[in-house]
Amino acid sequence: MMISKDRRSLSSSIFMIVIILFLYSCSESKSEESGKGVEEVSFDYSLQFNDIDIMSAESLHYQLTFDMVGIKSLNMSIEINDILYSSFNIVDIDSFDQVIDGNLPFNQEEMNIRVSFIKDDFIMAEEYHRVPKTREVEVLTISNSSSDKHFDTLFDKNKFVNNSNIIYNKFKKYDFANTEVIILNDINSLSEKIIVELQKFLLNEGYIFVLMNDNIKDNNELYYSLGYPNIKAVRGSSRNQFFSLQDKDFLEKHAFTSIDLVSQSEVYRYFQFREDEEKFSKIMISTGDPLLLEKDILGGKIFFLTTKKDSDWSNKSFDLLLDDILTRIFFQRLITNES
């Protein structure tokens, strides 16, 4: 009889264990199902303003790239100087990297822009952006001869730039007191007089943009006085040998629409340097050499372009890119004076 009772007790225990395991299994299954029902909610975005638009366009272009997860709609609110300019819904269409483009009007005064992303009266994210007050930047372009007409028309549509073109005379004494940016356009040599004046200009926080000349000996003599890069040789030989370009966030920071021009532009010849100038490089050539250098010299800035705006040196897209590079430098000068 004892054996029989033990067997019944054992069977009963096994049965209870099976029931407990079954109930636990059902509970875990329901827990997993309920967990699957809780959808992750997120809003990832990148908002860019094409700041250099204000130099020539009538409006400021912006681009919003976003990815919404678990959100059916979101309100995007744009305020300019604390006044509501626009408000609209962003609707999730279940795809990644959705893009919204728009334009904001600007006036002659400083603009403070606030963009808010709101869901159910809750601000999920905010972005602030400042547009400086409109004013003219005084520019002086110094060329070797009158044969180059590029800078005569380059700034026609640029309402921020007041440019004057002069032919360089090594016997003349120059005064740059009322100038903010100087463009040295393919000058083959500089006299001691103008070097001293350029040094004074830099001491007053001036900007110089240099389109370099292929007179290597004379360029290298400016290594100590004006921080010119030390040229080793001219690289490249024909239009069958081209080099692509890569921006290092110089243009994208204030001019994201220029990135297409970077990818379309090619150079066929450029100046190769004796020393590593990578820490000053803002735009690179595919060889690893710099296309654009930015150096802090004597309190001012000098920018060096390592190729020429010439069909034997670069393609047509590069001319448009050069305009964007210069406009970006003018804009940098503008916001530097504002800060």
pLDDT at residue 15, as a whole number: 46
In the chain, % helix, strand, coil (3-state, to 5) comes to 30, 35, 35
Per CATH, which fold does 137-338 belong to? Rossmann fold (3.40.50)
pLDDT at residue 213, as a whole number: 81
What pLDDT digit, counting tens, does each position of 270-314 carry? 999 888 888 899 999 999 999 999 999 999 999 999 998 888 899
User: Domain residues of the chain, as ranges?
Assistant: 42-131, 137-338
Whether the predicted pLDDT of 11 surpasses 60: no
What pLDDT digit, counting tens, does each position of 33-79 carry? 444 445 577 788 899 999 888 887 888 999 998 888 888 888 999 99
CB atoms within 10 A of CB 106: 18
Tokens 């000068």 belong to 333
160 residue type, one letter:
F
Entry pTM: 0.78
User: DSSP states of 112-154 as a string?
Assistant: EEEEEEEETTEEEEEEEEEEPPP-PEEEEEEES-TT--HHHHT
| 137-338 matches 42-131 in CATH topology | no
Which one has a higher pLDDT value, 2 or 85? 85
- Structure confidence at residue 228 as a pLDDT band (50, 70, 90): confident
Among the ranges given (50-64, 86-100, 203-217, 254-268), the one the predictor scored with the smallest mean pLDDT = 86-100
pLDDT at residue 149, as a whole number: 61
83-91 and 161-167 strand pairing: unpaired
111-119 and 73-80 strand pairing: antiparallel
- Structure confidence at residue 222 as a pLDDT band (50, 70, 90): confident
In this structure, whether the domain defined by 42-131 belongs to CATH 2.60.40.10 is answered with: yes
pLDDT at residue 94, as a whole number: 60
Mean pLDDT for the chain overall:
82
What pLDDT digit, counting tens, does each position of 115-136 carry? 999 988 899 899 999 988 878 8
pLDDT at residue 42, as a whole number: 79
CB atoms within 10 A of CB 179: 19
| Residue length of the chain | 339
